[in-house]
Amino acid sequence: MKRVLPAFLLFMGIYQGAGFTVYEALAVALSAYAFQQCISRLGRTIALMECISFVAAVELLLVPAITYRVFPASMPVESTTYFAFMLPAYSAFYAGIHGFSTGKTADSHRRYFQAVATYLRQNQTSGTVLLFIGLAGFTVRTVVPDAPTLVGLLPANCLFVSAFYAWYSQRTYRLIHIGLVVVALLAYTVWSGMFGDLFLWGILAVVFVSPGIPDLLTTRLKSVSVMVAFLLLLLIQSIKGEYRYNTWGQQRTERRGDARLMVELLTDRLANPAKVLNADHAFLSIVRFNQGIMVGSAMAKVPLHESYAQGDVLMSLLYPFIPRFLWPGKPQTGGYENIRRFTTLSQSENTSINLSPLGEGYVNFGFGGVLFAWFYGFLLRSGFQYGLSLAGRIPSVILWLPMLYIGCLTMETDLLSTWGSLANSAVFVALLFWAAKRFGVQL
């Protein structure tokens, strides 16, 4: 109730005083409620599901609502049309991903990290092994960007998992280990011009480190941290376009890193904060997370110009288990086909946009996509709960959940990408545990 009341007061305030429609005000209020839930649970629990639902609220509710007030012409459908589907769809997703709380979550989650700290003190070499596996995968991913996920991305993600191992093992040189991982991540960001990994792994680091230091995290500190994160986001958005313009070609293979340019751009923005802290830039940065444009474009086209897909999306649940060498024509992740088929939006080699799983629910089932939204949330929650149950027997499993869920943190994707990331990572981790045990390494 204490979090419902502020959200209700916000709803009444912007509905009566700011010219928002009922749907738009409700979208902002739901986003505020999701934010309060996330901040409240952060540090007390493994707030992964809360983080996912808050990011979804920002991308599907909050930013579209603001855009409808500030620049409505950029939205493909009317506000009423969009929110008539998205509000119940998001609510169903929220119900699916959170289920029913038992009230004992905080204590049980802390016990997982106490157990893993004890476990890793007895298995000091495992973090180092993961570090070398991660560096090998990281090298492959950098040198051969199109390398299969099994030898590139998945081993590279072990690098970040190794940092969690180092943190909870309390090893003497853990800060050097973690520093090396951070340097590698920053180097990849500069080389690729892609800031997503930096953003997502930063979120996961906070989610999975904070429960180990709950007494240090006050509500004020968490709120200030969110503000700092927002300022960093504005800073990144202010340099991203210019950096890519000078380092990217027309094809993905025509990209190069330029550390000097990156430093120059950052220095310029820090020396001239007005380039970052202004209303126009803030709005453009926020709109970057507007999934309502993609979903709205699909609603404008389906079913008027394109029939509902009638459940094709459910096939995505099977695709990760079929190797590409057995099916050369297996659909690619990235959303190109979804955007081409269901929207009128243009794409290029250097753009990556997608409908979001909730948008896929609409283009497949119409307003029946509300039930699909619940199913998607339930799917994510079920995987999380199963991971926790495994961690009760193998404590280190808790530190692999970031790798499993990094592809599920945002709505800028599709079911094939999120489920594929989750399923492929789970299979890879299971094989890695099995292989390590054969070599006498206890992960």
Distances, alpha carbon 183 to alpha carbons 177, 397, 398, 432, in Å: 10, 25, 24, 25
Q: Can you spell out the DSSP letters for 225-285?
A: HHHHHHHHHHHHHHHHHHHHHHHB-SSTTSB---HHHHHHHHHHHHH-GGGTSSHHHHHHH
Residue 373 has pLDDT above 70, yes or no: yes
Residue 309 has pLDDT above 90, yes or no: no
- Which of 87-91, 96-100, 107-111, 413-417 has the lowest average pLDDT? 107-111
- In whole angstroms, what is the distance from residue 428 CA to residue 289 CA? 31
- In whole angstroms, what is the distance from residue 434 CA to residue 180 CA? 27
Residue 31 has pLDDT above 70, yes or no: yes
Within a domain: residue 213? yes
| Joined tokens for residue 34 | 């999701």
Dump pLDDT digits (tens) for 118-174: 999 888 889 999 999 999 999 998 888 888 888 889 999 999 999 999 999 988 888
- Amino acid 3: pLDDT: 73
Is the Cβ–Cβ distance between 296 and 82 less than 8 Å?
yes
Residue 115 has pLDDT above 60, yes or no: yes
Dump pLDDT digits (tens) for 378-408: 999 999 999 999 999 999 999 999 999 999 9
Per the listing, tokens 């330029």 go with 258
Number of residues written out for the chain: 443
- Name the DSSP class of 42: B
Residue 389, judged by CB atoms within 10 A of its CB (0-12, 13-18, 19+), counts as: exposed
Within a domain: residue 189? yes
Residue type, 297: S
Q: Can you spell out the DSSP letters for 192-235?
A: H---HHHHHHHHHHHHHHGGGSGGG--HHHHHHHHHHHHHHHHH
Within a domain: residue 114? yes
- In whole angstroms, what is the distance from residue 312 CA to residue 360 CA? 9
Number of domains in the chain: 1
Average pLDDT in the 262-289 region? 82
What pTM was computed for the model?
A: 0.92
- Amino acid 301: pLDDT: 93
Q: Rounded to the nearest 10 degrees, how much is the dihedral formed by the CA atoms of 418, 420, 425, 427?
A: 150
Q: Which of 34, 9, 25 is nearest to 90 (CA)?
A: 34
Cα angle for residues 278, 279, 284 (degrees, 5° grid): 105
For the chain, give the percent of residues with pLDDT over 70. Answer: 91
Residue 353: pLDDT band (50, 70, 90) is confident
The range of the structural domain enclosing residue 275 comes to: 108-285
Residues near 309 by Cβ (< 8 Å), separated by ≥ 6? Answer: 342, 363, 364
Residue type, 393: R
Within a domain: residue 199? yes
Residue 200 has pLDDT above 80, yes or no: yes
Dump pLDDT digits (tens) for 323-352: 665 666 656 655 677 888 888 887 765 566
- Name the DSSP class of 372: H
- How many other CB atoms are there within 10 angstroms of residue 80's CB atom? 12
Angle between helices 196-209 and 48-57 (to 10 degrees): 140
| Joined tokens for residue 440 | 């006498």
Which residue(s) pair with 42 in the sheet?
45
Higher pLDDT, 233 or 422: 422
Residue 1 has pLDDT above 70, yes or no: no
**CA of residue 181 relative to chain centroid, distance:** 20
Higher pLDDT, 270 or 350: 270
Within a domain: residue 220? yes
Residue 347, CB-side half-sphere exposure with 13 Å CA sphere = 18
Residue 414 has pLDDT above 80, yes or no: yes
- Amino acid 323: pLDDT: 65
- Name the DSSP class of 146: T
Q: Which of 43, 18, 55 is nearest to 406 (CA)?
A: 55
| Joined tokens for residue 269 | 């923005």
Q: Can you spell out the DSSP letters for 102-128?
A: -S-HHHHHHHHHHHHHHHHHT-TTHHH
Residues near 4 by Cβ (< 8 Å), separated by ≥ 6? Answer: 33
Higher pLDDT, 40 or 353: 40
Within a domain: residue 370? no
Per the listing, tokens 């939205």 go with 75
- Amino acid 319: pLDDT: 66
Residue 86: pLDDT band (50, 70, 90) is very high
Within a domain: residue 275? yes
- In whole angstroms, what is the distance from residue 435 CA to residue 431 CA? 6
φ, ψ dihedrals at 45, nearest 5°: -140, 180
Is the Cβ–Cβ distance between 370 and 85 less than 8 Å?
yes
Per the listing, tokens 């690619």 go with 332
Within a domain: residue 414? no
- In whole angstroms, what is the distance from residue 35 CA to residue 86 CA? 18
Dump pLDDT digits (tens) for 210-260: 887 766 677 778 878 888 888 888 888 888 888 888 888 766 666 778 889
Distances, alpha carbon 383 to alpha carbons 30, 97, 99, 233, 443, in Å: 25, 10, 13, 29, 20
- Amino acid 283: pLDDT: 75
Q: Which of 192, 417, 407, 443 is nearest to 313 (CA)?
A: 417
